[in-house]
Amino acid sequence: MFMPISILHPPSLASPTLAYVPFVYPLPIWDYWPWLIVPLCLGVAIVYKSVKCQHMTMVPKEAIQIFVWILVGMMAAAGALAGVVKLVVEK
């Protein structure tokens, strides 16, 4: 008899214990979440420069430059906001 395989109940998940399932459960990276800004900035930099550059040969260099600038800007903003919190809120 034909038994359709359900994405909700795959055979490997038949055990009662809930194992980590990629793309279903959140990634267990609770302590490393600030690092998740890096791939997002890289993706934004690549797509933005792919749209802006006339020739694709220019994209790698330009994308790395803007990627670094985004990260520096984010770190500066984070530092400034942390300073405001320390000086104003926690005082």
Please report, as ranges, the residues that interact with other proteins according to CB under 8 A. 7-9, 13, 22-27, 29-30, 33, 36, 39-40, 43-44, 46-48, 50-51, 54-57, 59
Smallest distance, Å, CB 91 to other proteins? Answer: 26
CA distance 68 to 44: 12
Establish how many alpha carbons lie within 13 A of residue 7's alpha carbon, considering only the half-sphere containing its beta carbon. 3
Smallest distance, Å, CB 56 to other proteins? Answer: 4
State which residue, 39 or 91, has the beta carbon closest to other proteins.
Answer: 39
CA distance 10 to 48: 39
